[in-house]
């Protein structure tokens, strides 16, 4: 299981990813919450936890899309100009794809979201997570 902790301080959002099995992951989540509140205290405006439901590698999607459509593109009737345009576009796309090739798109399911979490009692926040009531 993979959980993502998001917290907002002074308009900036920070994320921490925790991976593990039940119930160990929840112990790590407790530790992370304690550390965030101890370090930043009342500066934490928002705190949310999401569960990663699905992950899809972006590189696989991009390469498939580029290879399927590369033959359909025609920039010029002149063969030399068309070749040059495709070469330049290919280099630009290659550089961009190179940065994205190892990236992953994830679908997340929100578990809990709390405003000003460090001001509230801890028990109130963790009572909101239904998986912990078992």
Quick check: bond before 54 cis, omega within 30? no
* DSSP code at position 72: G
Binning pLDDT at 50, 70 and 90, where does residue 69 land?
Answer: very low
* DSSP code at position 116: S
pLDDT for res 124:
58
pTM of the model: 0.58
Q: In this structure, are residues 18 and 31 in contact, taking their beta carbons and an 8 Å threshold?
A: no
Cα 122 to its chain centre, rounded Å, is: 26
- Residue with the bigger pLDDT between 21 and 58: it is 21
Of 21, 25, 23, which is closest to residue 5 (Cα–Cα)?
A: 25
Residue 7 pairs in a beta bridge with 14, 47
Binning pLDDT at 50, 70 and 90, where does residue 73 land?
Answer: low
pLDDT for res 48:
92
- Residue 100: CB partners within 8 Å, gap ≥ 6? 58, 59, 62
**Domains of the chain, residue spans:** 2-133
What DSSP element (H or E) covers 59?
Answer: helix 58-69
Residues of the chain with pLDDT > 70, as a percent, come to 60
């Amino acid at each position: 299981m993979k959980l993502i902790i998001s917290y907002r301080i002074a308009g900036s959002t920070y994320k921490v990813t925790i991976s593990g099995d039940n119930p160990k992951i929840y112990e790590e989540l407790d530790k992370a919450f304690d550390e965030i509140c101890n370090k930043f205290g009342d500066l934490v405006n928002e705190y949310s936890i999401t569960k990663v439901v699905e992950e899809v590698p972006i590189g696989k999607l991009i390469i498939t899309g580029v290879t399927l459509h590369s033959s359909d593109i025609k920039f010029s009737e002149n063969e030399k100009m068309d070749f040059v345009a495709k070469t330049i576009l290919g280099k630009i796309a290659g550089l961009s794809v190179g940065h994205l090739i190892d990236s992953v798109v994830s679908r997340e399911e929100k578990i809990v979201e709390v405003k000003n979490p460090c001001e509230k009692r801890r028990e109130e926040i963790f009572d909101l997570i239904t998986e912990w009531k078992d």
